[in-house]
Structure 1
Amino acid sequence: MQITFFHDVLCPFCYVTNKRLRKIVSEYKDVHVKHKAFMIISSLEDLEAAAPTPEDARELFKSEFSILTRYFPDYDPKKVLDKGKIGHVWSLPPLMACKAAEFQKGDEGHWEYFSRAQDKFFMEGENVNDDQVLISIAEEIGLDVERFKRDFKSKEAKLAVIQDEEEAKAMGIKGVPALLVNEKWLIRGVQSEEYLKQVIDDVLTYGEPKKIELKAYWEQ
């Protein structure tokens, strides 16, 4: 069984889905998660126009970070943002870095890098557009750092991100998180662990969702 996970490092809802999906998939041997990039902030220029200063950008991000308090009551977005490291941050650089990790260690490498990058951003208040932050993540997860340095700003990494996004849009996916089950059934938005587990159990047992009704992506 394959689950294709469309996501963005900067997406708080993806953060929640990622935590839940990692926990659930660890209980199964026959579920492979494929990772695809989808930019929620696709233009640095547009962000700078909307928020001219780094302080303005942090104010803009406040509502995004506050989303996590719905799922993690002890989370303090102010504490994270007050570190002052997050300013004009957009989606492409960390997603290209995820692709560079994927070039080395496949989907598992992508997933490990993505998870650590999200923790750096949402929990540690680090600027995931900063080269040194991105390189430090590569070091932490045991990548070949010299190769990573060549790859994470390469044309190949950028093209891989663009191709993922074009694939998503061709299927009618306009936002993330989105999970595509066996290249057919589409799950949108944040779902509970019980919901995701039920879908996996049904597909592994019956070859299709049973207890939870899902539509094919072309029907949505």
Structure 2
Amino acid sequence: MNLDLHHHAFALSADKNEMIGKFGSMKQAKQIILGHWEQCALADDQKRVNVEGMRKKTFEYPTSTPGLIACKAAQKQGGQQGYWDYFDAVTHAHMSENRNIGDLETLADIAVEVGLDRQRFLQDYPSSDRVQEIKRDRKLARKFEIQSTPSLVVNERWILSGALGT
């Protein structure tokens, strides 16, 4: 089977205003999102989702955009594989290690952990090109009416949403 996979950025809550609009407040957002985490944890045989660890963190629950910009900066260095590797690492840092992925230094540390050049990452991160790439991905998500992650679009015709069993 010959597959060509492309990872795209989809912000569930792109910024603080979106989070407050959806959840009422940042505090309420964290509480509701951690409820979603609890459901993920129930389906995770490997116990990668650390709900209580994140519940104890005092930093404001991060919005999607900083991590997505970081993934795009990783892609600039490492192509699609760089994006996948960074996405996996930032997801692990967030959901398992409960690190603040809204913090640029944390994101740069993760870049180094996956073998990217820190200085180049920090140079690529603030580029307006990254923001435009995310906007294009968001437009694509709207085209396919994607409402949740993960979602898989096959041949631009079929959409599979949510975590699927093996």
**What interval of TM-score do these two structures reach, taking the shorter chain for normalisation?**
0.7 to 0.9
Within 5 Å, which residues of 2 pair with 1:205-220? Answer: none
- Displacement of 1:86 in angstroms is 4.2
TM-score between both structures, scaled by the size of structure 1: 0.66
Quick one: distance in 2 between partners of 1:86 and 1:180? Answer: 34
Within 5 Å, which residues of 2 pair with 1:49-68? Answer: 50-51=24-25, 56-68=28-40
- Displacement of 1:177 in angstroms is 1.6
Give the corresponding residue for 2:53: 79
Q: Indicate conservation of the 8 Å contact 1:101/1:143, yes or no.
A: yes
Out of 114, 123, 138, the position equivalent to 1:141 is 114
Which is bigger in relative contact order (C-alpha 8 A, separation at least 6)?
1
Q: Which runs of 5+ in 1 are unaligned?
A: 2-29, 194-220
Q: Which one-letter code corresponds to 1:69 in the other structure?
A: A
- Displacement of 1:191 in angstroms is 1.5
- Displacement of 1:189 in angstroms is 1.9
CA change 1:87–1:125 in 2 (3 A) is: same
Q: Which one-letter code corresponds to 1:81 in the other structure?
A: R
Quick one: distance in 1 between partners of 2:44 and 2:151? Answer: 21
Give the corresponding residue for 1:94: 67
Quick one: distance in 1 between partners of 2:67 and 2:31? Answer: 21
Q: Matched residue pairs, number?
A: 162
Give the corresponding residue for 2:137: 164
Q: Secondary structure at the match of 1:37?
A: coil
CA change 1:59–1:168 in 2 (3 A) is: closer
Structure with higher Rg: it is 1
Give the corresponding residue for 1:131: 104
- Displacement of 1:153 in angstroms is 2.0
Quick one: distance in 2 between partners of 1:131 and 1:63? Answer: 26
Quick one: distance in 2 between partners of 1:103 and 1:172? Answer: 27
Q: Indicate conservation of the 8 Å contact 2:50/2:98, yes or no.
A: no
Q: Indicate conservation of the 8 Å contact 1:135/1:149, yes or no.
A: yes
Quick one: distance in 1 between partners of 2:106 and 2:44? Answer: 25
Q: Indicate conservation of the 8 Å contact 2:16/2:63, yes or no.
A: yes
Q: Deviations over 1:99-153 (max 9, x none)?
A: 0111111111000000000001100111101011100011011112211101112
Quick one: distance in 2 between partners of 1:88 and 1:192? Answer: 28
Q: Indicate conservation of the 8 Å contact 2:68/2:134, yes or no.
A: yes
Within 5 Å, which residues of 2 pair with 1:28-47? Answer: 30-47=2-19
Q: Secondary structure at the match of 1:32?
A: coil
CA change 1:69–1:155 in 2 (3 A) is: same
TM-score between both structures, scaled by the size of structure 2: 0.86
| Structure with the bigger percentage of strand | 1
Give the corresponding residue for 1:210: none
Q: Indicate conservation of the 8 Å contact 1:44/1:88, yes or no.
A: no
CA change 1:150–1:69 in 2 (3 A) is: same
Determine what percentage of the aligned residue pairs are the same residue: 27
- Give the alignment's Cα RMSD to 1 decimal: 2.1
CA change 1:57–1:138 in 2 (3 A) is: same
